[in-house]
Structure formats: C-alpha cells, structure tokens
Amino acid sequence: MCAIQESVPPALTKDKKRVREQEVAVHLAWKSTLYVTNFPETADDAGIRELFGNVGDLSFQDGTPSDSDIQYGTIFEVRWPSKKFKSTRRFCYVQFVSPTSAQNALQLHGRELEPNQPMNVFISNPERKKERTDQDANEREIYVAGLSKFTNKADLDKVFKTYGTIKEIRMTTDEKGHSKGFAFIEYEQEKDALAALNANNHDLKKRRIAVTLADSRGKARQRNLVADSGLSAVADARTRSVRISNLPIATQEGLLQQTLEKIAAVKRVEVFVDKQEAVVELESAAEAGKLLLRSEPIIFNGNTLNLAEEGRDGAPLRPAAPPPKAGGLFVPRTAVSRPRAGLGHARKPVQQAKTSEKPSFQPSGKLQAQGKGQDDFRKMLGS
C-alpha cells in the first residue's frame, strides 16, 4: 500500500501532458466521486444515473425522474452497497469522469425528491469519511423472543419506547398476519438498547418474553427455528432460494438485487465472483417459483442469466449413498447370529444346520449301534 501511495504524486504530474498526440487528464478518483444517501426507496440505478446526469426540476413521481437536456457531465460508474447483512442500507457512490462534473452535481444536495426527505450529496473524501449509520447496528439492536402470536408492532412499540427512541421494529408474520414469536428492535442510541434489556421476563399478552442483544448469538438462534413448512430455518431458506449462473464479471450484489426485485420479492442476494454465480433467497417459495417459471429471459448487463433451483444444478447437496451389493436387497448372513449371554445364563451350543443332501455312504446298522475302538483302527492299518 505504501508503494502505491508514494506513486500517486508522480502520477499527478502527468496531468495535461500529451501522450500520442492526446492530452491526458490525471486526478485523484475521490475528487470525482459523490457519496449520495437519503434518496427514495423507489430509486434504482437507472433513476440515479438519470438524476445526476441531468439538471432540472427532478422528482421521483411514479419512480421515474423527469428528463432534461442539460447535463452535469459523463458518469463513469455508480456503485451500490450489498444488502446482504442489512436490507435498509440506502446509499450509493456516483463517480464522474472529471472532478468538475462532481462539483457541479453538488447542487442536488438538499433537494427534496419526496416531501420532507432531502437528499444528501457529498464529495467522497476518504480522509473525512462519514461513519456508516449502521456501523454499530448490532449494539443498538435487541432480539425479543417468546412473543404471543397475537403480538403486533404497536404492542412492542408501547413497551419498548419507554427505554428510548426506536428507529425500527422488524417482526416476521405468517400467512394470517400472526407473529412467528420473535422480533428485532433497533434504537437510535446504544444506551437505549442496553436499557431495554430490563424488559427481559416482561409479561406481554400473557407470555413472558426474553430480551437479549441482537448479536451473532441471537441470530444463530433463528437458524434452529422450525418454519411453517416443518423444516429448519436453513432448510426452509433453501426451498426459497434460486441459483443464478452466467453472471457478468465483477457483478454488484446491489445491482443484481435491483434487477430481480422487479420480478419477485427478494430477501437476500449473495454473489460468488470467482464462479460468476449467485444465490438469491426469495421471500417465499411462491416467489422462488415465480422466478424459476418465468418464460421471458432475464438480461443483466448484456448476459442472459441461467436459473436453477438451489441444490439441483446437477450436483447433489449431499454425497449419494453407495449402491447396494449384488444379491438383492436381502442377502443371507454368512455367519450364524448368536445372542449374547446374559447374567446367569450359559451360552447354548450352536446346532449345525440341516442339509437336504444325503451322505455319500450309508453306515451299516452294526456300525450305527457300536462304534469302533482304537484296536480295531490299528488292525485296519496293519492289514
């Protein structure tokens, strides 16, 4: 890293120099990059590009900004964050070709695209980078378990707002709108979340609730929960997941999620860059089926995406069992089964199995009645 930083000043001296009869422009990338946040949830990549590429009376009515002929400048790239760990993250980086264009686009700072929702636009200077608002989200979030199925968000708000300002309440419900027994509550400040731990064992709807910090241990408890389908949380998520292949190189998770959300309700996207694949978890099995049964192809950045049910792309989820040996399902045992001798019981001698074949000779009646002695045997050898 030091070698790279030391090479930056010499590289900046090449600004305005001519290379092969062409004048080149060299500048620090962050000077042409904007950090944009607090825009409407309906905004997507196309909307942001249109918004920052044009000047005028722009608004997100019906999710689409109005057009204008005057442009700030050429946009080089728009980078979106992954929502894999927090679905409420809403910001992006808009990088222009030149710092002048980025400076001109700062006019959009404070513009209300929706009532009482001013957009924030800053030059993305890494030396004074603003801390992420969700950086300490785990310390400001509590996990509430043991809820009655009749508990709703209003009931939780009434109990937990006494400890501080609540930012968000997330509760999963079944098809009838009833609570599945747990919820996550995020506070504005960490001290309020710590104070809310005093609500542990509180009686709510005739149920004694459990309150803990929503750390990785609390989230691990969810993996062991049984879904309505009777499967574990991991198995249930797999039934709602779709594997996508043939992704473009360097696919952004945020952009892929925006594309798929126009078709079905997406809960989580994880991209595997080395394989150019992704696993998409949908909100329900029905939404996964909607995506898999789509007749029209899905085009993403010029590539036609291949979709398959998770775990059924030709490779089994678990190694297949070895085939049975020849001889059918039931092969007779070669050894005789002998029960173990218990205390106070002697092991009985094993009887030889009877054969249906007759012996090759029939002993005479005399031999059957009387066996030969040692003397008779010696006489036979001496003869």
Between 336 and 44, residue with greater pLDDT:
44
Pick 2-128's CATH classification: 3.30.930.10, 3.10.20.740, 3.30.70.330, 3.40.50.300: 3.30.70.330
Residues with Cβ within 8 Å of 241's Cβ and at least 6 positions away in sequence, in order, are 279, 280, 281, 282, 288, 310
pLDDT confidence tier of residue 44, bands split at 50, 70 and 90: confident
Tokens of 321: 């069992």
Is 233-309 in CATH node 3.65.10.10?
no
Nearest to 237 by CA among 288, 169, 290: 288
**For range 306-333, the mean pLDDT:** 54
Tokens of 111: 């513009």
Task: Among 114-118, 280-284, 327-331, name the one with the lowest average pLDDT.
Answer: 327-331
* pLDDT over 70 percentage in the chain: 60
Give pLDDT, residue 116.
Answer: 81
Is pLDDT of 149 > 70? yes
Q: Which of 255-264 are b and which e, b meaning 16 or more Cβ less than 10 Å from the residue's Cβ? A: bbbbbbeeeb
Give pLDDT, residue 232.
Answer: 57
Give pLDDT, residue 247.
Answer: 94
Task: Count how many Cα atoms sit within 13 Å of the Cα of residue 368 in the half-sphere of its side chain.
Answer: 5
Give pLDDT, residue 156.
Answer: 95
Between 203 and 70, residue with greater pLDDT:
203
pLDDT in tens, 165-179: 999 898 888 888 899
Q: Quick one: residue 192, left, alpha or beta (phi over 0 = left, psi -120 to 50 = alpha)?
A: alpha
- Distance, CA of 150 to CA of 377 (rounded, Å): 97
pLDDT confidence tier of residue 337, bands split at 50, 70 and 90: low
Give pLDDT, residue 124.
Answer: 84
- Distance, CA of 225 to CA of 229 (rounded, Å): 11
pLDDT confidence tier of residue 24, bands split at 50, 70 and 90: low
Give pLDDT, residue 277.
Answer: 92
Residues with Cβ within 8 Å of 105's Cβ and at least 6 positions away in sequence, in order, are 34, 52, 72, 73, 94, 96, 121
Nearest to 273 by CA among 82, 87, 135: 82
- Distance, CA of 103 to CA of 27 (rounded, Å): 14
Residues of the chain with CATH 3.30.70.330: 2-128, 138-223, 233-309
The answer to whether 91 and 35 have CB atoms below 8 angstroms apart is yes
What CA dihedral angle connects 48, 51, 57 and 63, to 10 degrees?
Answer: -30
- Distance, CA of 255 to CA of 262 (rounded, Å): 12
Mean pLDDT, the chain, rounded, equals 74
Give pLDDT, residue 31.
Answer: 78
- How far are the Cα atoms of 210, 230, 285, 314, 354 from residue 224, in angstroms, in the given order? 17, 12, 19, 28, 56
Task: Among 121-125, 216-220, 372-376, name the one with the lowest average pLDDT.
Answer: 216-220
Give pLDDT, residue 199.
Answer: 92
Is 138-223 in CATH node 3.40.50.880?
no
Is pLDDT of 265 > 50? yes
**For range 50-60, the mean pLDDT:** 59
- Distance, CA of 271 to CA of 259 (rounded, Å): 14
Between 89 and 127, residue with greater pLDDT:
89
